[in-house]
A and B are shown apart, each in its own frame.
Chain A
Amino acid sequence: MGFDFDIFFEQLFSSSYLKGALLSIGVAVVSLVIATAIGFVVALGRVGKSQFGRVPAGAYVWFFRAIPALLVLLIMWNALPQILPSLRSDWYSPFVAASIGLGLVEAAFMAEIIRSALLSVDDGQPLAGRALGMKPATVMLKVTIPQAIRIALPPTTNEFIGLIKYSSLASVISLRELLTTAQVGVNITFRYAEYYSVAIIYYLVIVSVITVFQTMIERRFAWISVKPTKKRKAESVPAGGLA
């Protein structure tokens, strides 16, 4: 049968793959936003002194790290609308269900990333903020969080890439994301190599773009006045700087 490049290129630039890829990215972005918001609150509960925060936060992490994401998606799509009639309406699409479901699961992992990032900020930092008369919320916002973000960035990028792939689980709730698009095409044509290759290309492009963004954002968190660029040599550093 051989590898048919015509089929390959035809699919590579087809709207169904592009739509599938955008759905995958969309689910990943929305669930990461949900996961970061919930994860931050859970992380605060876990690093806090109060048992009222620690116990429920610990329970959240315990529960959602234990349950397979696939099961959560099935519950979100099949079980919940049976219990909650309000979910039996148009707005509750596979996209919404998948984003919330993956977001809830991912929040447990983001909570641990954010917790370790908060804990890795030097004790002297909040101390200095407090000594300047900052209230607890200001210390958190202006001193601790900016430093924690830098530490949380690389593992969060990992999680984001993971979410792109996890979005393929949403095929069980009939979301036609990237991998499902390939699978559907294969089922019709039996051109496995061509359709899977197109999926590979899409995943590679998506992760490449994410990596470029990661580099750009991490550069913003370099905390140096002279941004390193390829052309700049040591002598162009302002006189007396960086001795």
Chain B
Amino acid sequence: MIAVLTRDLKLAIRSGGGFGLGLAFFLLIAVLTPLAVGAQSDLHARMAPGILWLGALLSCLLSLDRIFALDYEDGSLELLATSPVPMEGLVAMKSLAHWIVTGLPLTLLAPVLGIILALPAEGYFWLVVSLALGTPALSLIGAFGAALTVGLKRGGLLLSLLVLPLYVPTLIFGAEAVRAGTSGQPATTALMFLAAISAGSAALLPFASAYALRINLR
């Protein structure tokens, strides 16, 4: 299973699209939103948690369809399905690889983008913690959506339609945690919910995704 993880990481780094594209998209959202809403920095400060969370979510979405589609196209998914690696483990490893190339860099980049969005100083800690707790759920839910749509010719749009509603709770708790933390209110409840969603997704969603993949390979 470690082999799958290292292979996916290698592939993501070599093909270039993995690290760079998602981050660049995140940056673009953080730059374009102030341009769209005007130059008042107090407004930016209030919107920053939401914009950063929404940006993280959308950049995560960008690379989801590649999780299984590439392996499906070149046949390695079929071959892996008949190999000793259990399907659930495969899904978990691929989600983890996706998180390492998108969720983790997004979490690290977010404070920098917080500066240009005039996020108050108290918010940075909560921003990083909430993203670190929440982005694993984004990758796991996304892998589920990718598993559902893997056999489809034009699955990209459908994938967003399926995955975005599933992202709602994560988005609400994530942005809420940062907002509460920024304004000095207790943010631990939201963070605990966020951690619970990630943990629950990690425990259960790989089974659902593996089931969906097996059906799609039939």
The yes or no verdict on A and B being binding partners is no
Residues of A bordering B, CB below 8 Å: none
